[in-house]
Amino acid sequence: MLASSRLFPEEMMDKRVFRCVECNETATELHRDYSNNILKITICESCQKPVDKYIEYDPVIILIDAILCKTQAFRHILFNTSLDIHWKLCVFCLLCEAYLRWSLLHGSKQSSDPADIIRYTKEWEFYGMFGLAALELSAFCISVLWFLWAVVGRLQGGKLELRLLLRALLLSCYGKVLLIPAVIWEHDYSPLCLGLIKLFVLTSNSQAIRVILNSSRRLSLLAVCLGVLSETCVAQACKKFPWSIQEMLTD
């Protein structure tokens, strides 16, 4: 049986509008159910290819293609599945980023005494770092959504689904999970690894925007760059506040 039968009950498939992973044309179904549980993948009327070849693929292969930022894999995840873990993934990624900042903050304070490690874990610094990471992510998403709303929704007169875009942005931040092993397996090239992880996350964000809007790479890159600029401004503002949050955490 095809994998999509596990993702969508039959009654849900009747109500959804799917997208062809090859040409982005809409489709009313991913497969057709014949008698005796015989399923046949639906062929796209536009490109004459399977609407979604990934419904037969193993999840590991889908994940690998998503890591490679393949457009087809992103369309499958964002349009043709009922994956609804973006808020949970967002919180987990924020925890990863907060742990990275917290560990770097205590990099010069590391002690071999287990009591010190236990004491550090009870401090509020970690939660403060989580709040800063959440604030910066909020600034990034709001700036990206505002830019796309202004350009696509207002100037070009296109239809913009902000909720779907936000879901895509949050799901495409999955690369932040790599921050944990980068910190645990610390080595001389950690700054380079962290930079590459950041670049990978931004690339995934850009690809997610392209898939949702079916737009040019230039537009998605501009949106991501504006988001990074806003995120950086918020981070710098937090450092230069009269009652600097980070200084309060380190005191």
pLDDT 10s digits, 151-203: 887 766 667 888 999 999 999 999 988 887 777 776 665 678 888 899 999 99
**3-17, 42-56, 95-109, 163-177: segment of lowest average pLDDT:** 3-17
pLDDT score for 1 = 36
In this predicted structure, the answer to whether residue 145 has a pLDDT above a threshold of 80 is yes
Query: Chain-wide mean pLDDT for the chain?
Result: 80
Kind of pairing between the strands at 18-19 and 39-41: unpaired
pLDDT score for 187 = 62
Q: Enter the tokens of residue 195.
A: 């930079």
- Domain layout of the chain by residue ranges: 4-79, 86-250
Mean pLDDT of 201-221: 93
pLDDT score for 193 = 82
In this predicted structure, the answer to whether residue 140 has a pLDDT above a threshold of 90 is yes
